[in-house]
Amino acid sequence: MTDKAQVVVYGASGYTGMLIIEHLIVEGIPFIAAGRDKQRIAQLMKERVPGLESARYEIAEVTHQKEDLARLFKGATVVCNTVGPFADYCWPVIEAALEAGCHYIDTTGEQETILTARDEYGERFAKKNLVFAQSVAYMFSVLEAAAELCLENPAIDTIDAACVPTNLPTVGSTNSIFNLFRATERYLLDNEYQQWEPKTNSQVVVPGVLKPILAMPWGGGSLPIIYEQDSRVRTCRQLSGFYNEEVTRFVLDMWGNYDANIKSLPKDEQDQKIAEICHQLTPEMPNRERSTFFRNVDHVLGRGNTATASCTVFNHSGYAITGLLQALVVRKLICDDIGGKPGFTSACKMVGHRYLLDNLADRGFASYKVSDC
């Protein structure tokens, strides 16, 4: 390409990076696929990205250093960061995007990371009229959109949200799970953060599923942070659990193993042990999701003094949804349509919850129902 692409997908050789690229191609958006190994990116794109022959793109090899990243990002409009665990790896990418004058979006739901990044970078991005949006991903943005539909009733001030996926975690997600064991999990209660007890789990009931689902805070989720400074919401709790209860119980067992055998080690030794376990659990990139199997439910209950509302989103292929969500947000950003809210924000607050949900429905990824309970 003669002109620099407006979008950089950093972490392009990862599972999620490939899916973002796929949806950028569908949207007709030129991009730079960036990562540590140019040949690996090219090979995986050839193997896994449909429609590549019609795409306008470049492949860039770059180190994970702020200076190198900033040089690559210079002249672009948006950086899509998929390199995790974000608690360890997001900081030079955020700094580089800010220095290069780019909007920044990523897929993290790690509460500690989001809170630290919001407080450190939110205002700095806002001063440059740039968007800083994390958690643009399944498990977060879809639940947020469902919550927003409930909040269209102005009497609602309490949000209880449950995400029930079928997906097994990718390599990056497996690493992130272990970071959750080291983090404080929060929920919002009457405008104040409260901490979930470690290993909290409970049975939740969601429409379309015959038996209760074993769910956990899963790090607390991003919704309590998104709604902390929203005057409409006093209380917000987010839980996640898998259709296959064995997956959730396995995570709880791994947490017990972490507490018993890893927690007391120095951090570098913890990281090494965790990396070994993650490699055993998810040694390679999984196959693409199959829509007839990887079906999910996202369910939100809203409550006021006497008012109630609920929204259920039936959907499939959560990682593919993440790719589409990122592409939809990118499309708005390259058209300079940031909803009048630069700085720290969310996908729904930036581009609108109905825009996201209706596009997911139009592409065959989701349907949703709203009721008064």
pLDDT band at 1 (very low <50, low <70, confident <90, very high): very low
Rounded to whole angstroms, how far apart are CA atoms 174 and 282? 7
Sign of CA dihedral 312, 318, 324, 325: positive
pTM over 0.85, yes/no: yes
Average pLDDT over residues 119-147: 97
* Residue ranges with strand state E in 165-248: 186-189, 192-195, 202-204, 213-215, 235-240
Rounded to whole angstroms, how far apart are CA atoms 306 and 285? 48
Average pLDDT over residues 287-312: 95
Lowest mean pLDDT of 143-152, 168-177, 249-258, 270-279, name the range: 168-177
State percent of the chain over pLDDT 70. Answer: 94
Q: pLDDT tens across 22-79, in order?
A: 999 999 999 999 999 999 999 999 999 999 999 999 999 999 999 999 999 999 999 9
Measured between its terminal Cα atoms, the distance across the chain in Å is 53
Q: H-helix or E-strand containing 20?
A: helix 15-27
Q: pLDDT tens across 64-122, in order?
A: 999 999 999 999 999 999 998 899 899 999 999 999 999 999 999 999 999 999 999 99
- Helix/strand number for the chain, H first, E second: 14, 16
CB atoms within 10 A of CB 132: 24
Outline where 245-343 has alpha helix (H).
Answer: 245-257, 267-281, 318-334
Rounded to whole angstroms, how far apart are CA atoms 259 and 246? 20
State percent of the chain over pLDDT 90. Answer: 77
For residue 2, pLDDT beyond 50:
no
Question: In what side-by-side order are the strands of the sheet with 366-371?
Answer: 192-195, 186-189, 235-240, 158-164, 295-303, 308-316, 366-371
For residue 340, pLDDT beyond 80:
no
Average pLDDT over residues 242-260: 88
For residue 314, pLDDT beyond 70:
yes
Q: H-helix or E-strand containing 97?
A: helix 91-100
138 Cβ contact partners less than 8 Å away, ≥ 6 residues apart: 165, 296, 315, 318, 319, 321, 322, 325
Fold of 143-317: Dihydrodipicolinate Reductase; domain 2 (3.30.360)
For residue 159, pLDDT beyond 50:
yes
For residue 303, pLDDT beyond 90:
yes
Average pLDDT over residues 251-275: 86
**Do the first three CATH levels of 7-137+319-359 and 143-317 match, i.e. the same topology?**
no
For residue 268, pLDDT beyond 50:
yes
- Provide the residue ranges of all domains of the chain, joining segments of one domain with +: 7-137+319-359, 143-317
| Cβ(299)–Cβ(312) below 8 Å | yes
Rounded to whole angstroms, how far apart are CA atoms 141 and 222? 9
| Cβ(184)–Cβ(263) below 8 Å | no
pLDDT band at 323 (very low <50, low <70, confident <90, very high): very high
Place of tokens 């129902």: 369
pLDDT band at 274 (very low <50, low <70, confident <90, very high): confident
Q: What class, spelled out in words, does domain 7-137+319-359 have in CATH?
A: alpha beta
